[in-house]
Structure 1
């Protein structure tokens, strides 16, 4: 296990060796299996020709029937161009495929969603838009994944506005939703409110830019937010501000609207007097120093989200005054993981047939995650559910679906309780199916 001192065998190396070996053995992580009975070739007269022609004609007259008569109602496409894969950078669509397969597994296991990995050998942003829009007849939702910034902002905005199915970029929205959920409970424990909290964001990539925007929608004051990138604190007088306006208008907007003090400098100058630190930047340790945390307000909240090593080790952050610390890792308390968000979000989006996923819906999902943890009993080492608490996923689904109804975006209008029952049944059956296939030997088990 990797330790704070860096001693002992690396858990990451062990998992890497296992992943390579098992990938060669299984030759992929997903497959297509029938969901209708086939006992003889004559059955294809129903499922294929001649019977299928009648189904096609019905859908041709009313395309909404594709949700009732095909797999569209429960399907999502996982789209990537491979330009920002995990911490590996631009490894291309072929290299991205194993990651997208893994994402599809999470969709199925935690959300009951049939997701298909589609790495595309297309990189120009408007060409990507054309490709994704062309897939709309086949899928009920689109998950954009591992696409470089600032291209990812353009794609999410344009596709969300031009498609009639929900479009999600998990690197932005999933991370933002999980972060907000953790912050909601951290604020409760430390006696703070969004409106008056001073927040520092270290790292100004896709995740933190999306998180700042979601925080604004959740009641945080942009004037009390400071953002830091590799060149220092964002402010309107920076030498590169004109370049930002041209090349990254999303980051430029925040450079103008945040940091009302017009503070300058780097990370230590930004952190002085802050209530909350959210770092999604260069892996540590040492990216964030303990003495900088000691200059934050008392009962400081520190989210050090870099992987595989957080910007500062949790114990060091606490020694220097942090009351609550979260990371992106499962071997420390308070893991901020976008996998807590997207399976339930897509389950709810598909169940309600929402046309899009907006900020109020994401905030509602974050609040549901926070409520789940609060009902269990929050404390400094438990501010957000763990991945093992699978009961949270149908609750997130119901929260998203009912909010879509409230926002006037849903094509199916049910009560929150009905959405919850439906989501729980689907997710539960899919987990049972996987366990059954393993127990019967149709999926070969592995030794742990």
Structure 2
């Protein structure tokens, strides 16, 4: 037992009445000798022969088309750092629960003990045939970039690093709406990104795809603003390195900035930095559980800002569960070979547009509100919005078909959505 009630409640939740958060369910009748003969020998030989003749039939006769692997090496677990593969298992099980709960996607969580990226890549590539998609999770930069790229090249199913692209998609959707409310265009704004890891780099790349100018981006790591005069600058940082003169510290970069994206650590931004930003700034302080600056502190010096955090107890929560279950749902439903940028952008637009729609009564009741509408405290949908399962998979599946990433046609049952 522990003296901390919340800690004990979390431990009890995971232990009782049976350990863990997942189980496997049988999906076909299995109560008679005839059904046993169909499920295993001799009946199982027929789908084996069919798949030998036509590998795509694995989507017809097995669970491959609704099965995602959530895979980690435990090198960057939540806010806990390098916890290790085994200790990452509760998080991977949790991710599996979210996939199933929000989008009815089945998941095997897989934790890989590996000493090098090459070992991890080889392990995942060898088991990839089992799945319809792979969600990479909690893998530290820079290895996460190498791992994702290599697996995308070796496998013919979607390989999606959620810490990169899931975060980027939600950030981009919220940012577009915040800029709309502030009367600004993404093509014009000056963006400061604190944190040069997976989430930060992917968010900036997606912002570029939406029109943001690289010359207007300032990326800050532990050594300050990233410039190309540094020694041994890794490729993923060099991509956003600046040249010549300019601000070298976070404080200097924040002066006159329109947008702040924080994917770094707690308390790294102070009120003076927020006060120095341009008129009508947008602040995404996403360090969790403690943001780079608390909303009440930021709002005490800037009444004109729009702010988002990663927390559920403040407005505008940037939560990846708005994306990954529904993105994979759409990708799986068209037997996608990849989740490409067209599908990322489709998810951004679907989420952005949904925030403009009237908020359903079920959402108002869940959050104990009488009213809620598009505005400074509502720039992205909430994770409990029941419309997500219709809107986001629909957009992603259509983009997959139109971009050539799909093996199967746009599903007929999507037509009415």
TM-score bucket (shorter structure): over 0.9
Secondary structure, counterpart of 1:374 in structure 2: coil
Structure 2 distance, partners of 1:406, 1:261, is 42
Over 6 Å off, 4+ runs: none
CA–CA separation in structure 1 for the residues paired with 2:337 and 2:150: 14
| Cα distance, 1:117 vs structure 2 | 0.3
Q: Counterpart in 2 of 1:393? A: 389
- Deviation per CA, 1:386-445: give whole Å up to 9, x if none: 111121133111111100111111111226x74366xx8xxxxxxxxxxxxxxxxxxxxx
Matched, 1:251 2:237: yes
Q: Give the structure 1 partner of residue 355 of structure 2.
A: 373
Query: What residue ranges of structure 1 are gaps of 5+ in the alignment?
Result: 1-12, 425-448
Q: 1:142-291 maps to which residues of 2 (within 5 A)?
A: 142-237=134-229, 241-244=230-233, 248-255=234-241, 259=242, 262-284=245-267, 287-291=268-272
The match for 2:75 among 61, 70, 83 is 83
> 2:9 — aligned with what?
18
How does 1:285-364 map onto structure 2 within 5 Å?
Answer: 287-321=268-302, 322-364=304-346
**Secondary structure of the structure 1 residue equivalent to 2:269:** coil
Preserved CA contact (<8 Å) 2:76 2:82: yes
Q: Distance in 1 between matches of 2:50 and 2:314?
A: 53
Note closer, same or farther for the CA distance 1:316–1:350 as it changes in structure 2 (3 Å cut): same
Q: 1:262 to 1:170 in 2, by over 3 A?
A: farther
- State TM-score, norm by structure 2: 0.92
CA distance in 2, matches of 1:396, 1:319: 36
Q: For 1:331-359, what per-residue CA distance to the aligned partner results, in whole angstroms no more than 9, with x for missing partners?
A: 00000011110000000010011111112
Q: Which residue of 2 aligns with 1:123?
A: 115
Give the C-alpha shift of residue 123 in structure 1: 3.2
Aligned to 1:419: 414
Q: CA deviation at 1:89?
A: 0.9
Deviations 1:44-65 (A, max 9, x none): 1011001111111111111110
Q: What is the alpha-carbon distance in structure 1 between the residues aligned to residue 255 and residue 265 of structure 2?
A: 20
8 Å Cα contact 1:223/1:260 also seen in 2: no
Distance across 2 between alignment mates of 1:108 and 1:291? 44
The residue that corresponds to 2:96 in the other structure is 104
Q: Spell out, residue by residue over 1:287-329, the C-alpha distance to the aligned partner (whole angstroms, 9 max, x if none).
A: 1111111111111110100111111111221222252010000
Distance 1:390 1:310 in 2: 28
Q: CA RMSD in A?
A: 1.5
Q: Does 1:72 pair with 2:83?
A: no
Match of 2:406 among 399, 410, 418: 410
Any idea what the Cα deviations from partners look like across 1:182-240, whole Å, max 9, x if unmatched? Answer: 00100110011111011100111110011111111111100001011111001112xxx
Per-residue Cα deviation, 1:80-129 (whole angstroms, up to 9, x for no partner): 01111111111111101111000000000011100110001123111211
Cα 1:207–1:420 shift into 2, 3 Å: farther
- Relative distance call for 1:182 and 1:14 in structure 2 (3 A) is farther
Structure 2 segments unaligned to the other structure (5+ residues):
359-372
Higher fraction of helix: 1
Structure 2 counterpart SS, 1:143: strand
Q: Contact between 2:217 and 2:240, CA under 8 Å: does it hold in 1?
A: no
Aligned residue number for residue 428 of structure 1: none
CA distance in 1, matches of 2:88, 2:40: 34
Question: Residue 350 of structure 2 aligns to a residue in which SS?
Answer: helix
Pick closer, same or farther for the CA change 1:261–1:393 going to 2, 3 Å.
farther
Normalised to the residue count of structure 1, the TM-score between the two structures is 0.86
Partner in structure 2 of residue 440 of structure 1: none
- Deviation track 1:226-277 (CA, whole Å, cap 9, x = no partner) reads 011111001112xxx3312xxx31112211xxx4674232111010111000
Work out whether residues 157 and 338 of structure 2, in 8 Å CA contact, stay in contact via their aligned partners in 1.
yes
How does 1:20-39 map onto structure 2 within 5 Å? 20-25=11-16, 26-39=18-31
